[in-house]
Amino acid sequence: QEQLVESGGGLVKPGRSLRLSCAASGFIFSDYYMTWIRQAPGKGLEWISYISSSGSAIYYADSVKGRFTISRDNAKNSLYLQMNSLRADDTAVYFCARGERSFYYDSSGADYFYYMDVWGKGTTVTVSS
Protein backbone atom coordinates (compact mmCIF):
# COMPACT_ATOMS: atom_id res chain seq x y z
CA GLN A 1 0.00 0.00 0.00
CA GLU A 2 1.46 3.32 -1.09
CA GLN A 3 1.86 5.58 1.91
CA LEU A 4 3.45 8.82 3.01
CA VAL A 5 3.86 9.74 6.68
CA GLU A 6 4.99 13.20 7.75
CA SER A 7 6.67 13.97 11.07
CA GLY A 8 8.62 16.70 12.80
CA GLY A 9 5.92 19.30 13.30
CA GLY A 10 5.40 21.16 16.54
CA LEU A 11 5.38 24.51 18.33
CA VAL A 12 8.36 26.75 17.59
CA LYS A 13 9.22 30.38 18.34
CA PRO A 14 9.53 32.95 15.54
CA GLY A 15 12.99 33.01 14.01
CA ARG A 16 13.76 29.42 14.97
CA SER A 17 14.17 26.36 12.76
CA LEU A 18 12.34 23.07 12.26
CA ARG A 19 12.94 20.05 10.03
CA LEU A 20 10.04 18.06 8.64
CA SER A 21 10.37 14.50 7.37
CA CYS A 22 8.18 12.42 5.09
CA ALA A 23 8.63 8.64 5.06
CA ALA A 24 7.52 6.80 1.94
CA SER A 25 6.53 3.16 1.66
CA GLY A 26 4.80 0.83 -0.76
CA PHE A 27 6.34 2.27 -3.94
CA ILE A 28 9.73 2.92 -5.51
CA PHE A 29 10.46 6.31 -3.98
CA SER A 30 13.35 7.12 -6.31
CA ASP A 31 11.03 6.96 -9.36
CA TYR A 32 8.91 9.96 -8.35
CA TYR A 33 9.21 13.68 -7.89
CA MET A 34 7.95 14.93 -4.54
CA THR A 35 6.31 18.11 -3.29
CA TRP A 36 5.45 19.92 -0.08
CA ILE A 37 2.12 21.71 0.21
CA ARG A 38 0.82 23.58 3.24
CA GLN A 39 -2.52 24.79 4.51
CA ALA A 40 -2.82 27.60 7.04
CA PRO A 41 -5.70 27.31 9.52
CA GLY A 42 -9.01 27.84 7.72
CA LYS A 43 -7.24 28.66 4.44
CA GLY A 44 -6.64 27.01 1.09
CA LEU A 45 -3.79 24.89 -0.21
CA GLU A 46 -0.44 26.50 -0.97
CA TRP A 47 2.17 24.68 -3.08
CA ILE A 48 5.58 25.44 -1.54
CA SER A 49 8.29 23.18 -2.96
CA TYR A 50 9.21 20.52 -5.54
CA ILE A 51 12.15 18.15 -5.89
CA SER A 52 12.79 15.89 -8.87
CA SER A 53 13.28 12.14 -8.50
CA SER A 54 17.08 12.44 -8.47
CA GLY A 55 17.11 15.68 -6.48
CA SER A 56 18.75 17.58 -9.34
CA ALA A 57 15.83 19.98 -9.92
CA ILE A 58 14.36 22.00 -7.05
CA TYR A 59 11.78 24.78 -7.00
CA TYR A 60 10.23 26.95 -4.27
CA ALA A 61 7.32 29.30 -3.85
CA ASP A 62 8.37 32.91 -3.37
CA SER A 63 6.89 32.84 0.15
CA VAL A 64 9.54 30.36 1.37
CA LYS A 65 12.46 30.92 -1.02
CA GLY A 66 15.69 31.53 0.84
CA ARG A 67 14.29 30.20 4.13
CA PHE A 68 13.18 26.63 3.35
CA THR A 69 15.26 23.83 1.82
CA ILE A 70 13.81 20.67 0.33
CA SER A 71 15.90 17.52 0.08
CA ARG A 72 15.53 13.78 -0.25
CA ASP A 73 17.40 10.59 0.59
CA ASN A 74 16.37 7.91 -1.88
CA ALA A 75 18.29 5.24 0.04
CA LYS A 76 16.11 5.99 3.07
CA ASN A 77 12.88 6.57 1.11
CA SER A 78 12.58 9.93 2.77
CA LEU A 79 11.78 13.54 1.90
CA TYR A 80 12.73 16.50 4.07
CA LEU A 81 11.91 20.17 4.51
CA GLN A 82 14.34 22.28 6.49
CA MET A 83 12.55 25.42 7.63
CA ASN A 84 14.62 28.34 8.92
CA SER A 85 13.72 31.85 10.07
CA LEU A 86 10.18 30.75 10.78
CA ARG A 87 7.43 33.35 10.94
CA ALA A 88 3.92 33.37 12.33
CA ASP A 89 2.50 33.10 8.80
CA ASP A 90 4.31 29.77 8.34
CA THR A 91 1.80 28.27 10.79
CA ALA A 92 0.06 25.52 8.83
CA VAL A 93 -0.48 21.84 8.26
CA TYR A 94 2.33 20.64 6.01
CA PHE A 95 1.58 17.83 3.55
CA CYS A 96 4.05 15.86 1.47
CA ALA A 97 2.74 14.45 -1.79
CA ARG A 98 4.01 12.13 -4.49
CA GLY A 99 4.25 13.56 -7.97
CA GLU A 100 3.19 11.50 -10.93
CA ARG A 101 3.34 12.32 -14.61
CA SER A 102 1.57 11.07 -17.71
CA PHE A 103 2.66 11.56 -21.29
CA TYR A 104 0.27 13.21 -23.72
CA TYR A 105 0.30 14.54 -27.27
CA ASP A 106 -2.01 17.16 -28.73
CA SER A 107 -2.00 19.70 -31.55
CA SER A 108 0.64 21.74 -29.68
CA GLY A 109 3.00 18.82 -29.41
CA ALA A 110 4.11 16.33 -26.76
CA ASP A 111 4.30 17.04 -23.03
CA TYR A 112 3.57 15.55 -19.63
CA PHE A 113 0.73 16.06 -17.20
CA TYR A 114 2.03 16.50 -13.65
CA TYR A 115 -0.18 15.77 -10.67
CA MET A 116 0.01 14.66 -7.02
CA ASP A 117 -1.61 11.30 -6.54
CA VAL A 118 -0.55 10.15 -3.06
CA TRP A 119 -0.67 12.45 -0.04
CA GLY A 120 0.34 12.12 3.57
CA LYS A 121 -2.01 13.08 6.39
CA GLY A 122 0.08 16.12 7.27
CA THR A 123 2.04 17.45 10.22
CA THR A 124 1.15 20.67 12.06
CA VAL A 125 3.64 23.49 12.49
CA THR A 126 2.75 26.33 14.84
CA VAL A 127 5.01 29.38 15.00
CA SER A 128 4.27 31.46 18.08
CA SER A 129 6.10 33.15 20.92
Partner 1 sequence: DIQMTQFPSSLSASVGDRVTITCRASQNIRSNLNWYQQKPGEAPKLLIYGASALQSGVPSRFSGSESGTDFSLTISSLQPEDFATYYCQQSYSTPPYTFGQGTKLEIK
Q: Is 117 in the site for partner 1 (CB under 8 A)?
A: yes
C-alpha separations of 37 from 79, 93, 113, 118, 121 in Å: 13, 8, 18, 12, 11
Which segment (24-32, 73-81, 84-92, 102-110) binds partner 1 by CB under 8 A?
102-110
Name the CA dihedral angle for 92, 95, 96, 101, rounded to a multiple of 10 degrees: -120
Q: Give the number of residues written for the chain.
A: 129
Q: How far is CA 100 from the centre of its chain?
A: 14
Residue whose CB is less far from partner 1, 42 or 129: 42
Q: Is 73 in the site for partner 1 (CB under 8 A)?
A: no
Q: How far is the CB of 59 from partner 1 (least distance, A)?
A: 4
Residues that bind partner 1 (CB under 8 A): 35, 37, 44-47, 50, 59-62, 95, 100, 102, 104, 106, 108, 111, 113-117, 119-122
